[in-house]
Amino acid sequence: MQQAPPIYRRGLLMIAIMLFSLTSLSAQSLELNWTTKTDGKVIAGPVADEMHIYIGNEKGVFLAIDINTGKINWQIETSGNIQAKAVLAEDLVILESANTFYALNTTDGKEIWKYSPNTPPEQFSYGGVEYLYKLDPFDDKRSSGILRDGIFYTGTSDGNILGLNAKTGALNFSQSTADNAPVRSTPFIADGQLFYGDWNGVVYCYDLNKETLIWKKNTYREKPYTTFGGIASEFTIHKGKLFFGARNHMFNVLWLEDGQKEWTYTDPDGGWLIGDPVIRHDTLYIGGSDNFAMLALDANNGRLLWKTKRTKNIYAKPIVTETWVIYGGGNSYNPKDSGEIVVLDRMSGSTLAAYETTSSVFSAPILINDEDVLFGSSDGTVYSLKIK
């Protein structure tokens, strides 16, 4: 039998590879491993060690949950709501609840130290009801923290960045924002410089070694409505530039050196680009709220590479792997609506899988063992899903 020409065989091989890839992508699914019910809304993302995830809810309950089974190992009650992701510091887990900071033993939840800056509770009124520890109805993101050289850095509601000794809770550092604007962003440290943003849309760069403010930058000129402009995300850096999300439909990228804008992406749908940014292979991935979209932008110039739009608000940080972008979504306006976890192809933005939850998912998911997605939802359920 005569063989096909080499170029023809190569063509058949390429077609076979493409068909196999498409089949693999379309076969992607999310299957339930386990759920664990808590008694309060879960917005905080989980953190994990080898055995457990640690997560809190808005009723002030903080839990250690077995990664494999969903069994609660221990739980404690704190003084108020928990909205921010905790931070692991060796055998301690550090969290914020109602403007008070706690360090707990990861083994049994025993309190090791507690620090209260005596910050009065934030509050707003709506429909005759007083809401505590929130600045407005959409104030669902609080400053988490970072650990550097044994110091836990975090932002506060009364406009401070605090540095606490991770082992003792002793105050090591404090720096105020202009006009004591609340800090909902999570601080970031690079090369001895501390970056953070405030509720008025101002970004700061502070030199920890020289103990001086290097620059600050206002990210907008006018405030078109009252809930606009606050910086409420994590920061990341890439090639000398600073990336962050905000209550703003314009995504601003600043130079680390002087805070000047390098580029701006304006979303035509007008939704806040408030998700926590992730950069991989020169591509920025970030979610938006009222544009219901996950975006991929060229991190060098802001060019839109793809935009995947669904029907849910996106507030939290996506998981970005070599293959996938995984994120949660929900309804900011209707607490009775469902939520979802979505898996996209990282290169194209095409939807590979989606899992509907009974309530919104504003808790940033984490990926365990390259296949298990863990997160919380607004009805108090903690989920573990397997990617297949």
Write out pLDDT tens, residues 133-148.
999 999 999 999 999 9
Distance CA 208, CA 215 (A): 13
pLDDT confidence of residue 220:
96
Q: Tell me how far the alpha carbon of residue 293 is from its chain's centroid.
A: 15
Closest CA to 158 of 124, 135, 130: 135
Q: Which two tokens stand for residue 380?
A: 């108090």
Q: Tell me how far the alpha carbon of residue 356 is from its chain's centroid.
A: 20
324 has a pLDDT exceeding 80: yes
CATH (residue range 30-387): 2.130.10.10
- Assign residue 122 a region: left if phi > 0, alpha if psi is -120 to 50, beta otherwise? beta
Q: Tell me how far the alpha carbon of residue 141 is from its chain's centroid.
A: 8
pLDDT confidence of residue 11:
52
Q: CA Rg, the chain, in Å?
A: 22
23 has a pLDDT exceeding 90: no
Q: What DSSP character marks residue 158?
A: T
The neighbour count for residue 59, using CB atoms within 10 Å, is 16
Q: What DSSP character marks residue 179?
A: G
**pTM above the 0.85 mark?**
yes
* Amino acid at position 155, single letter: G
The pLDDT tens digits of the residues spanning 257-275 come to 999 999 999 999 999 999 9
